[in-house]
Amino acid sequence: ENQGSAEVSVTHQELADSMGTYRETVTHTLGGFQDNGLVVLERSRICIRAADGLRKIIASAGGRRAAES
C-alpha cells in the first residue's frame, strides 16, 4: 500500500477560511490526524504522512453525508 506524502504550506486559519469553518475546528481535526500518524503539523505547514489513510477518512465521510441526504 502506497502511503504517499506531501507538504502543504497553509495556516489553520487559511484552511478554515477556504472551507467555511472555524480555525478551532481545523486545529482540532488536524490534531486528531496527527495523533493517528496521518499528518505532522509544523508552523504554517501540514506534512501529509499517510495520504491513503486520509483518503479513507474522506471516502467514509462522503458515504455518511450521502446517507444523511
User: Tens of pLDDT along the chain (69 residues)?
Assistant: 445 679 999 999 999 999 999 999 999 999 999 999 999 999 999 999 999 999 999 899 876 655 555
Distances in whole angstroms, Cα of residue 32 to Cα of each of 1, 54, 67: 22, 11, 24
Residues 6+ apart with CB under 8 A from 57: 38
Burial of 66 (0-12, 13-18, 19+ CB in 10 A): exposed
pLDDT of the residue at 61: 86
Predicted TM-score of the model (pTM): 0.78
